[in-house]
Amino acid sequence: MIKITARGFDLREGTKLGVEKELKRVEKMLPETSGFDVTISKKTGGYKCDVTVKDAGSFIRGEASADKIEHSIDFAVDDLKRKIRKLKTYFVDKKRRSGIDNLAESMFELGDEVEIDPNHPSTEIRRQKKIVLQMMTDDEAIVQMEMLGHTYFVYLNEDGLTSIVYKRKKGYGLLICE
């Protein structure tokens, strides 16, 4: 299933068909249950395309910006393909093939975005996101963080404690909340 959303402009049918054609090639690399959420936004000086693959609660995101809409779509799909290959290589080369099954089974939807009321007393918080923490290993959290393209990831460790894994200049850091 492919869900395409345009922000700040009207999306033409030809562009929708182009996105679907690009994603058909990526679809072959993924399980049949995978779905795509594509968001194309008009920004100052160009377009931004964000392609997210959702499968059993696991997420992989490819994103890119360019001056033309077609280029932003192509670059985002290329970024997505690169991350999928990286994920598959990680599990196969590291002999962790069963880890992808555990990741898919243990993770559910991370959460829904909620827009903040402009009358909210805080002027610093622009967006709020509610998440459901899932239990996973530290390695699985690092993989999920990398696939989302984030610099940190919050989860429940195997002891049931809230943990935060984050990127450092060299390697990763881990915060464990007590």
- The pLDDT assigned to 56 comes to 58
Q: SS3 for 27? A: helix
Complete domains list, the chain, with CATH: 1-95 (3.30.160.100), 107-178 (3.30.505.50)
Q: How far apart are CA 36 and CA 18, in angstroms?
A: 14
- The pLDDT assigned to 104 comes to 45
As to burial, measured by CB atoms within 10 angstroms (0-12 exposed, 13-18 middle, 19+ buried), residue 68 is: exposed
Confidence of residue 98 (pLDDT cuts 50, 70, 90): very low
Other C-beta atoms closer than 10 Å to the C-beta of 87 total 19
CA–CA distance from 133 to each of 4, 50, 87, 109, 140 (Å)?
Answer: 27, 24, 22, 9, 13
Which runs of E-coded beta strand occur in 10-147?
35-43, 46-55, 58-66, 111-115, 127-131
Q: How far apart are CA 133 and CA 163, in angstroms?
A: 10
CA angle 132, 135, 136 (to 5 degrees): 125
Confidence of residue 174 (pLDDT cuts 50, 70, 90): very high
Confidence of residue 119 (pLDDT cuts 50, 70, 90): low
> Rounded to two decimals, what is the model's pTM?
0.59
Q: How far apart are CA 83 and CA 39, in angstroms?
A: 18
Bridge partners of 37, per DSSP, are 3, 52
